[in-house]
Structures are given as structure tokens and as C-alpha cells.
């Protein structure tokens, strides 16, 4: 077994049920493509973290916050929808952010690491649901977080200049948490950069006058994401020198996803800028009509449902990718073609 466990830290792009356990379960058609029911994922099916687990012959990750029927024997998922790297300014229900920001996810992990071994020593049924002690050092630690630090600041009416000014602190807090995990024995880190947010219906709808590139994406907001990514890549390079026993892989998920906007037909996709599960407007997206929710239009109740064929669509609900797009992206990034250092996922356990 290459990695006996996965511990994931992130936001909605990798949340497998944390937000649903803490707040509210997403409604159908979320989950319908693969699971045939909502399962705490904001997509029609599997996420990149799910494909990661499958590729390593591991079960899907249970959310740490989920107390029902969870099995943590091969890892845990600390991600929740709307999570940020930095301490959020305003949290649900009085703001856009999850309270479970990255520092808190790390603290959850630290608590889980200690308590799970106490449970294992106690024996019995619950012991079998906890990871072995040696799994923690041998596990893959994955990160898919940072997007909300950018977008939520924009939604709170901060300018791109103000967001850029915050990037050094965001990146520093990111790498601080990686160092903290290293201090607890973690050695293998698979770190995604942030995505081309300027291509997402939520951004295109919120900022309709933004200048567009040839793919129809909003230049300013992709440039903002790219700035974050440049700084993150430099910081991780410095961290490798500081933590020579760790394998720290920077994964350029931005480029893997952006190819679906520049050449969708080449990869079998259609209408990449348009949400599959949405309602209204040029991009089939409205903040008043989340996927699976019901809204009133001209006196009639309409349930926001899926497009006819999610398998050929890139964007699911205005913010997240479809299962098909997640699979395409995972197949690309897992080869190492988008990584620095350029090593495939299954070799990320080897010290560099």
C-alpha cells in the first residue's frame, strides 16, 4: 500500500460531508450522478479527493465532523464548505465563511491524532474504526484551500488591490499550518494551488463588466488567482529547504482546469462557462437559486435542477466542478505533469 491513509484539509472542493454534518445537507441533484443521493458533496458525484482515494485503493474519506457511520481507519477529511486559510471576518450564518478555517482544521487533526490512539488502545469496535499509529507518518496529507480567501474578500466588497495586499499573510498562514503538521510527524504533502476563479459563473455573474479573455473568463480575477499561486509556489519551495525530510508537492490545478475553458471540445466538454445546475442569466447562475433549492418565479415554485447531461459539462453549480470535470482534472494532475517537483501522486511518498 503506497499510502495507508489520507488526511485532507480544504474547503468545498474537497468537502466530503463536514459542512453537511455541521450545518445542512446539500439537496438532490447533488450527488445523484454517482451516489444516487446527496452525500455531503457539492457536486453531482465524486470530487478530486474521492478519485485520489480510489487511485490509492483506499475508501472514500469520512468527514471528521460527521458523527454518523464514519470510518476513520484510513484517514479523515477536515475540509468544510466555505473554509478559508485565514481567520474569517464573518462566519455563517452572519457571513459567507465557515468557522472551520485552516488553523482550526489543524487543531482538529491534532486532537484526532491523539484521541484516535487512545481509542485504539481501548480495543473493541471503535478501535477498528481508527487509523493505526504508524499511518500518520506514512499518510498523504492533501490541501485544497485558498480560493475562498480570495472570493469571499471580493464578495465583502474589497478591491483586487486590497486582496493582493493580503496574499503574503494568507500564504504565510498556509505554510505555518504545513509546518505544524510536520511537527506532528506528517511527511508527505500534496498541495493544490487555487483555481481560475475568473472562469466561474459566480464571478462572471457578480462582476459582469470585467474584461474577458479569449475563453470568456474574467481577466482580473484569474490574475488575482495567479498571483496567489505564484506566491504559494515560492513559499513551498522555501519550505522544502526548511523541511528536508518532507515531500512537498505543489500541484498546478489552475492550469489543469483552465484547459477545459480554452479547449473544451478537445476534451469532450461543452458550455464550460455555464452552470449545469442553476437558474437564470447568461451563465445559468443566480445567488438566489442554489442547486437543489426552490425559488418562486412569477408565482410558480421552481426547483433548481440539473442539466440534461452533466458528463459533458465543466461547471456544476456556478462554483464547483462536475464529477466529469473532477475526473478529467484528477487524471491530469495525478501523473505529475502539473506538479513541482514533477512526480506522480503515487510516488509522492518518496523524499525529494
62 is catalytic: no
Please tell me the pTM assigned to this model: 0.97
Q: What is the dihedral of CA 67, 71, 75, 81, to 10 degrees?
A: -40
Cα separation, 344 vs 154, whole angstroms = 34
Per-residue pLDDT of the chain (352 residues; tens, 9 = 90+): 589 999 999 999 999 999 999 999 999 999 999 999 999 999 999 999 999 999 999 999 999 999 999 999 999 999 999 999 999 999 999 999 999 999 999 999 999 999 999 999 999 999 999 999 999 999 999 999 999 999 999 999 999 999 999 999 999 999 999 999 999 999 999 999 999 999 999 999 999 999 999 999 999 999 999 999 999 999 999 999 999 999 999 999 999 999 999 999 999 999 999 999 999 999 999 998 899 999 988 889 999 999 999 999 999 999 999 999 999 999 999 999 999 999 999 999 855 4
Please write down the long-range contacts of 303-306, taking CB distance under 8 Å and 24 or more positions apart. 304/277, 304/278, 304/279, 305/29, 305/277, 306/29, 306/32, 306/44, 306/276, 306/277
In the structure grid, which three cell numbers stand for residue 340, read together? 513541482
Spot the catalytic one: 98, 144, 317, 339: 317
12 is catalytic: yes
320 is catalytic: yes
Spot the catalytic one: 12, 83, 188, 334: 12
Name the E strands within 1-52: 6-10
SS3 37: coil
Nearest to 58 by CA among 77, 81, 85, 40: 77
Spot the catalytic one: 141, 320, 334, 339: 320
Amino acid at each position: 500500500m503506497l499510502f495507508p491513509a489520507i488526511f485532507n484539509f480544504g474547503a468545498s472542493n474537497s468537502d466530503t460531508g463536514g459542512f453537511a454534518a455541521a450545518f445542512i445537507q446539500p439537496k438532490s441533484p447533488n450527488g445523484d450522478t454517482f451516489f444516487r443521493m446527496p452525500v455531503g458533496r457539492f457536486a453531482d458525484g465524486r470530487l478530486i479527493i474521492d478519485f485520489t482515494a480510489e487511485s490509492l485503493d483506499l475508501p472514500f474519506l469520512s468527514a471528521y465532523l460527521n458523527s454518523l457511520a464514519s470510518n476513520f481507519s484510513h484517514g479523515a477529511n477536515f475540509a468544510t464548505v466555505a473554509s478559508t486559510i485565514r481567520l474569517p471576518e464573518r462566519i455563517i450564518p452572519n457571513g459567507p465563511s465557515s468557522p472551520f478555517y485552516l488553523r482550526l482544521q489543524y487543531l482538529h487533526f491534532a486532537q484526532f491524532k491523539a484521541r484516535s490512539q487512545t481509542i485504539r488502545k481501548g480495543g473493541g469496535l471503535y478501535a477498528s474504526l481508527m487509523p493505526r499509529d504508524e499511518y500518520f507518518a506514512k499518510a498523504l496529507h492533501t490541501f485544497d484551500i485558498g480560493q475562498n480567501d480570495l472570493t469571499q474578500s471580493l464578495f465583502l466588497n474589497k478591491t483586487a488591490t486590497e486582496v493582493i495586499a493580503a496574499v503574503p499573510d494568507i500564504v504565510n498562514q498556509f505554510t505555518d499550518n504545513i509546518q505544524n503538521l510536520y511537527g506532528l510527524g506528517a511527511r508527505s504533502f500534496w498541495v493544490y494551488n487555487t483555481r481560475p476563479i475568473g472562469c466561474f459563473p459566480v464571478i462572471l455573474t457578480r462582476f459582469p463588466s470585467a474584461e474577458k479573455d479569449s475563453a470568456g473568463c474574467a481577466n482580473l480575477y484569474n490574475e488575482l488567482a495567479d498571483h496567489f499561486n505564484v506566491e504559494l509556489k515560492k513559499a513551498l519551495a522555501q519550505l522544502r529547504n526548511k523541511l528536508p525530510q518532507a515531500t512537498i508537492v505543489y500541484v498546478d490545478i489552475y492550469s489543469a482546469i483552465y484547459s477545459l475553458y480554452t479547449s473544451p471540445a478537445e476534451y469532450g466538454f461543452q458550455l464550460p462557462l455555464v452552470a449545469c445546475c442553476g437558474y437564470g442569466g447568461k451563465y445559468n447562475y443566480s445567488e438566489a437559486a442554489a442547486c437543489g433549492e426552490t425559488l418562486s418565479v412569477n408565482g410558480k415554485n421552481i426547483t433548481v435542477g440539473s442539466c440534461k447531461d452533466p458528463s459533458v459539462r465543466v461547471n456544476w453549480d456556478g462554483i464547483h466542478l462536475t464529477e466529469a470535470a473532477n475526473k478529467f482534472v484528477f487524471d491530469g494532475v495525478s501523473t505529475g505533469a502539473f506538479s513541482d517537483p514533477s512526480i506522480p501522486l503515487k510516488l509522492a511518498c518518496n523524499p525529494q
